[in-house]
Amino acid sequence: METEKNNGGLPNAEDVEVNRAYYLRESPGRLDYWRRMAAPRFRISVFSALLQEQLVSTLIDLGCGNGELLNDIHERVPNMNLCGIDLSSMQIESNRRRYPTLQWSVMDLDEAHAFAPALAGRFDVVLASEIIEHVKNPDQFLKNARALAKPGTGRLFLSTQSGRVWETEKRVGHYRHFSRGDLEALLRGAGWEPLRVWNAGFPFHDVSKWWANRDPDASMNRFGNEAYGPLEKFICFALRVLFKFNSHRLGAQLFAVARHHQS
């Protein structure tokens, strides 16, 4: 049953509640997904390479979730000043207990904000990984991101999805996906200068989405809820190997690097 269209239509109330319940519930499967599945490991490899291209001392992760991405960056670059923002106060409190040396804030980035001096214009890099497809107001989200970046020099590192919104993606709250042109226009409209916008992931990222959506219920339970067993770990390993042969120009994974445009 189609509950969300690829033109940006909003999910129905039932889908919103399913999404909310999914993200408020901590499960072994979600941690295993982050640590083992090919798609998130590929994204962190791209972000790590981007971070090595310039001197970065401050970074903020928008929609930080369980903090695993920030912790991964912290382990790779321990001297970087890191901050995470998320809508869920429950999740942020959990992050503070697990990673007390990092900074955490609760905020709805779908809404306009007057950021405190401790946050406004402070960050060399604003990281937005797999979050803009979850927000209702991507224009406002990108304006908030710009307000956090250092004027004139701050960078935005962003990942999201192109193409069809699959059933499994609807269930975790995707409102819409973006073409390269869509994203470039949104970035410029929000005061960012796009430096590079590119797709990646063909064919194996795209095929893995198709495969997971042959039986969305089983896929969500097997790779999102339950702890991974030997077979799930082998599937993740095989996908990580296959992802090494993916295109860096074509596919449903979409990346962008943009610079704070100081008018």
Q: How does DSSP classify residue 39?
A: H
Q: Please, which residues bridge with residue 21 across strands?
A: none
CA distance 55 to 48: 12
pTM value? Answer: 0.89
The per-residue pLDDT for range 185-241, each reduced to its tens digit, is: 999 999 999 999 999 999 999 999 999 999 999 998 899 888 999 999 999 999 999
The answer to whether 116 and 93 are in contact (CB under 8 A) is no
pLDDT band at 22 (very low <50, low <70, confident <90, very high): low
How many Å separate Cα 32 from the centre of its chain?
16
CA distance 227 to 233: 10
In terms of residues, how long is the chain? Answer: 263
Q: Which domains does the chain have, with CATH numbers?
A: 26-260 (3.40.50.150)
Rg over CA atoms, the chain: 18
pLDDT at 4 over 50: no
Beta strands at 253-260 and 155-161: parallel, antiparallel or unpaired: antiparallel
pLDDT band at 30 (very low <50, low <70, confident <90, very high): confident
pLDDT at 249 over 70: yes
Rounded mean pLDDT of the chain? Answer: 89
Between 171 and 128, name the one with better pLDDT: 128
49 exposure class (CB count in 10 Å sphere: 0-12, 13-18, 19+): exposed
Strand, coil or helix: what is 194?
Answer: strand
Which stretches within the chain are classed as H helix? 13-24, 28-36, 38-51, 68-76, 89-98, 138-148, 167-171, 180-189, 204-212, 216-224, 230-243
The per-residue pLDDT for range 133-160, each reduced to its tens digit, is: 999 999 999 999 999 999 999 999 999 9
